[in-house]
Amino acid sequence: MDWLVALAEFLVNEILSVPAFLIGLITAVGLIALRRSVGQVIGGGLKATLGFLLIGAGATLVTASLDPLGSMIRGATGAQGVIPTNEAIVGIAQQEHGAQVAWLMILGFAISLVLARFTPLRYVFLTGHHILFMATLLTIVLATAGFSGTVTVLLGGALLGILMVSLPALAHPWTRRITGDDSVAIGHFGTAGYVAAGAVGRAVGGRSSRSTEELRLPESLRFLRDSMVATALSMVLMYVVVALISLIREGEAAYTAFDGGASGPGNFLMQSVTQGLQFGIAVAVILFGVRTILGEIVPAFQGIAAKLVPGAIPALDAPIVFPYAQNAVLVGFLSSFVGGLLGLAALSLWLNPVLGLALILPGLVPHFFTGGAAGVYGNATGGRRGAVAGGFVNGLMITFLPALLLGVLGDMGDRNTTFGDTDFGWFGLLIGYGAQLGTVAGLVVIALIGLLILAAAILMQRRVVDRGWDPSPHRARPAGADAEQSTGEQGESEQTTPSTIPRARKLAPPRGAPTPPPRP
């Protein structure tokens, strides 16, 4: 049996948990279903893989740029506490539960494909590393509650498969508001934050709040229309301000924020400027990778839809929405980070003394990716005010939910790290407290939770998504969703605009459903 465990761990750790390989394989399968030539299959699969590697390279650059900023912020504020980092807690859990996580992940992916084939939820969840993260969370929670290894794998695999098809459906009206069609869905376990951002955006935006992409700048500031320049400049200012505060508070001790330290205050400030500029480069790499992968996977999914899962929609990682509102990404990130700081203040002054909740430090990486996506969702329904409010709400959620989640992680809750994104929080709490009811009662309650989520997603798909419901019909479509920006002065080339992303045909409403009103 050791070779079976080794095989399962190889499939999970080396293929399924690596989004680039998973996307490349899926793209190749789709092109084979379309009866493309061998060269086209190889080229398309390889290009899709390269696109995801570009996203990964950009994410690595973002992390490298944000790490010193986080150190400077801790030095400037003096805050100490738990840092929510998915990769860190997954790495720790692998040492104890590696085999169970592997089997649970494989079973969950298989169940999700069955559900996508035989239910109205035609979403194929392709964010491999997030599948691994959720499989690890479910393993920790169920094992901590005392369930056997077999029950943990079977029950956890069913729950994982349900989430992988249900959450994209629950968020799809807001995702379609951003993209303008059903070409892609969101496949990321920060979905609750994105739906909340879209709902809050509609509440605060109204008709008057203009899109973040409709910047009206004087001629002398037109260079800020280039999103890479605007992002880099904003981050440079943020780095320099935080560096000055850290330098005043800590003196030469602040130099340790950068690898190798700094030789003096001038060098320290210039390293801060360099990191801000590199952040702008990192975002540009991510956006290019997103457009590369979409250019390959959307046509490939036409083949998958025809042969394997009729009407299949790829559910992809959070940066998939970044190109549709690039200014909103930065607005959402900053707003989410502010929400995280205020959430930390609430934990420090109230919830920690009263309830004993841990202090959750605002990790800049989760705030950038989930906060940036939340800003795009908020902008789609509420313009600039929606982007600010949506990012802020996301920041509060990824601060309070991880603090509460620590209570159901058992010994893993004492490792100074935890899961960071919203869906890990609310779902982990439901499963964790349900499991504490006992073996039999807990099993029944957890099964009911899974079935309720699946039923709610099917209802959402039938009654809302298929009928073309628009979560913000009073607003015009976001400018980034289908308006092609000009080249030259605006700094955007035709190759890098969302309008060049292939469009999938809009899904027809089910037979007998009322015809949806025309999109404004």
Res 286: pLDDT: 78
Q: What is the pLDDT of residue 273?
A: 92
Sequence-distant (6+) residues with CB within 8 A of 132 are 12, 16, 17, 90, 101, 105
Question: Which residue, chain included where needed, has tokens 């893993």?
Answer: 412
> What is the chain's percent helix, strand, coil content, to nearest 5?
75, 5, 20
Amino acid at 18: V
Q: What is the mean pLDDT of each run of 10 residues along the chain (520 residues)?
A: 76 70 80 86 89 79 78 70 79 78 85 94 88 90 90 95 97 95 93 97 85 72 66 82 86 84 88 88 80 75 72 90 90 93 90 85 85 95 94 96 91 81 96 90 95 97 94 70 37 39 43 41
Residue 193, CA distances (Å) to 50, 231, 304, 373, 412 in order:
29, 23, 30, 9, 24
Residue 271 CA to residue 150 CA, distance in Å, equals: 52
Residue 487: how many CA atoms within 13 Å on its side-chain side? 4
Where exactly are the structural domains of the chain? 17-84+171-425+466-483+494-500
pLDDT at site 161: 96
Q: d(Cα 44, Cα 51) in Å, to the nearest integer? A: 10
Note the residue count of the chain: 520
Measured CA to CA, the distance from residue 466 to residue 463 in angstroms comes to 7
Q: CA–CA distance from 358 to each of 283, 489, 499 (Å)? A: 32, 49, 45
State the Cα torsion 145-148-149-151 to the nearest 10°.
Answer: -90
The contacts of residue 467 (CB under 8 Å, 6+ apart) are 509, 513, 514, 516
Pairwise CA distance, residues 440 & 247, whole Å = 57
Distance CA 215, CA 303 (A): 40
SS (H, E, C) 169-209: HHHHHHHHHHHCCCCCEECCCCHHHHHHHHHHHHHHHCCCC
**DSSP H or E run through 417:** strand 417-418
3-state class of 481 per DSSP?
A: helix
Q: How many CA atoms within 13 Å lie on the side-chain side of 100?
A: 26
Query: What angle is formed at CA 515 by the lines to CA 509 and CA 519, rounded to 5 degrees?
Result: 95
| Cα separation, 228 vs 235, whole angstroms | 11
Structure pTM? 0.79
Give the bridge partners for 360, in sequence order.
82
d(CA 401, CA 392) in angstroms, rounded, equals: 14
* Cα–Cα separations (whole angstroms), residue 246 to 77, 129, 149, 252, 340: 8, 34, 48, 9, 19
Question: Cα separation of 453 and 444, whole Å?
Answer: 14
Report yes or no: 334 and 55 within 8 Å, Cβ to Cβ. no
DSSP class of 350: I
Taking Cα atoms as reference points, which of 151, 144, 133 lies closest to residue 189?
Answer: 133
pLDDT of residue 227: 64
Q: How large is the C-alpha radius of gyration of the chain?
A: 23
**Own/partner pairs for 278-281, CB < 8 Å, 24+ apart?**
278/61, 278/64, 278/65, 279/61, 279/62, 279/65, 279/66, 279/231, 279/232, 279/235, 280/228, 280/229, 280/231, 280/232, 280/233, 280/235, 281/61, 281/228, 281/232
How does DSSP assign 8-60, residue by residue?
HHHIIIIIIT-HHHHHHHHHHHHHHHTT--HHHHHHHHHHHHHHHHHHHHHHH
The Cβ of residue 270 has, within 10 Å, a number of other Cβ atoms equal to 14
